[in-house]
Structure 1
Amino acid sequence: MKKLFTLTFVLSFILSMAQTDYHFPEESSRHEGTWLQWPHHYQHGMTYRKRVEQTWVDMTKALQSGEKVHIIAYNDEEKNRIIRLLEENKVPMKNVDFKVYPTDDVWIRDNGPIFVKDNKGNVLIEDWGFNGWGEKFDFENCDEIPQKIGADLGVKVINLNEEMVNEGGSVETDGNGVLMACKSSVISQKKGAVRNKDITQKEAEEMFETYYGVSKVIWLEGVTGLDVTDMHIDGFMKFINHNTMLTMKDDDLLELGLSEKDVNTLYTATNVNGKEYKKVYVPATKNKVKTAYGKQLEEKGSYVNYYVANTVVLVPNYGDPSDKIANKIIQDQYPDRKVIGIDVRNLYENGGMVHCVTQQQPAGNLAR
Structure 2
Amino acid sequence: MTWTMPSETAPHECTWMAWPSSGYTLGDTAADAERARDTWAAVANAVAGFEPVRMVVSPGDEQIARARLDGAIELITRPLDDAWMRDMGPTFVLGDDGRLGAVSWIFNGWGAQSWATWDNDELIGDAVAELAGAELVSSPLVNEGGGIHVDGEGTALVTETVQLDPGRNPGWTKHDVEAELARTIGATHVVWLPRGLTRDGQEFGTRGHVDIVAAVPGPGTVLLHDQRDPAHPDHEVSAQIRRSLETSTDAAGRAWTIVDLPAPAVLTDADGPVDYSYVNHLVVGGGVIACSFDDPNDDRAAEILADVYPGRTVVPVDARELFARGGGIHCITQQQPAAASRR
Matched, 1:207 2:180: yes
2:44 matched to which residue of 1?
Answer: 60
The more displaced of 45-54 and 102-111 is 45-54
Runs (5+) with no aligned partner, structure 2: none
Matched, 1:218 2:202: no
Matched, 1:310 2:294: no
Q: CA deviation at 1:264?
A: 0.6
1:275 matched to which residue of 2?
Answer: 254
1:266 matched to which residue of 2?
Answer: 245
Structure 1 residues 360 and 289: alpha-carbon distance in aligned structure 2, compared to 1, 3 A threshold = farther
1:79 matched to which residue of 2?
Answer: 62
Structure 2 CA distance, aligned partners of 1:326 and 1:152? 35
1:147 matched to which residue of 2?
Answer: 126
Matched, 1:48 2:21: no
Structure 1 residues 108 and 300: alpha-carbon distance in aligned structure 2, compared to 1, 3 A threshold = closer
RMSD between aligned residues: 2.2
Q: Work out the number of aligned pairs and report it.
A: 331
Match for residue 188 of structure 1 among 161, 165, 170: 165
Matched, 1:340 2:315: yes
Matched, 1:360 2:317: no
Contact 1:25 1:117 (8 Å CA) reproduced:
yes
Structure 1 CA distance, aligned partners of 2:8 and 2:238? 28
1:10 matched to which residue of 2?
Answer: none
Structure 1 residues 47 and 144: alpha-carbon distance in aligned structure 2, compared to 1, 3 A threshold = farther
Structure 1 CA distance, aligned partners of 2:238 and 2:304? 25
Q: Deviations over 1:278-336 (max 9, x none)?
A: 1111110111365xxxx675325211111100022011111110111111111112221
Identical amino acids, percent of aligned pairs: 29
Structure 1 residues 58 and 289: alpha-carbon distance in aligned structure 2, compared to 1, 3 A threshold = farther
Structure 1 CA distance, aligned partners of 2:157 and 2:307? 24
The more displaced of 37-46 and 49-58 is 37-46
2:296 matched to which residue of 1?
Answer: 321
After superposition, residues 172-187 of structure 1 pair within 5 angstroms as 172-187=149-164
State the AA in 1 paired with 2:65.
Answer: I
Q: Deviations over 1:145-203 (max 9, x none)?
A: 0211233344321222xx211111111111111111111111133xxxx1012111111
Q: TM-score, normalization: structure 1?
A: 0.84
Q: CA deviation at 1:85?
A: 2.2
Q: CA deviation at 1:83?
A: 1.0
Q: Deviations over 1:78-128 (max 9, x none)?
A: 112211223xxxx3x23x111111111111111101110111011111111
Matched, 1:28 2:9: yes
Structure 1 residues 74 and 270: alpha-carbon distance in aligned structure 2, compared to 1, 3 A threshold = same
2:105 matched to which residue of 1?
Answer: 128
Structure 1 residues 150 and 174: alpha-carbon distance in aligned structure 2, compared to 1, 3 A threshold = closer
Q: TM-score, normalization: structure 2?
A: 0.90
SS at match of 1:248: strand
Answer with 1 or 2: which has the greater Rg: 1
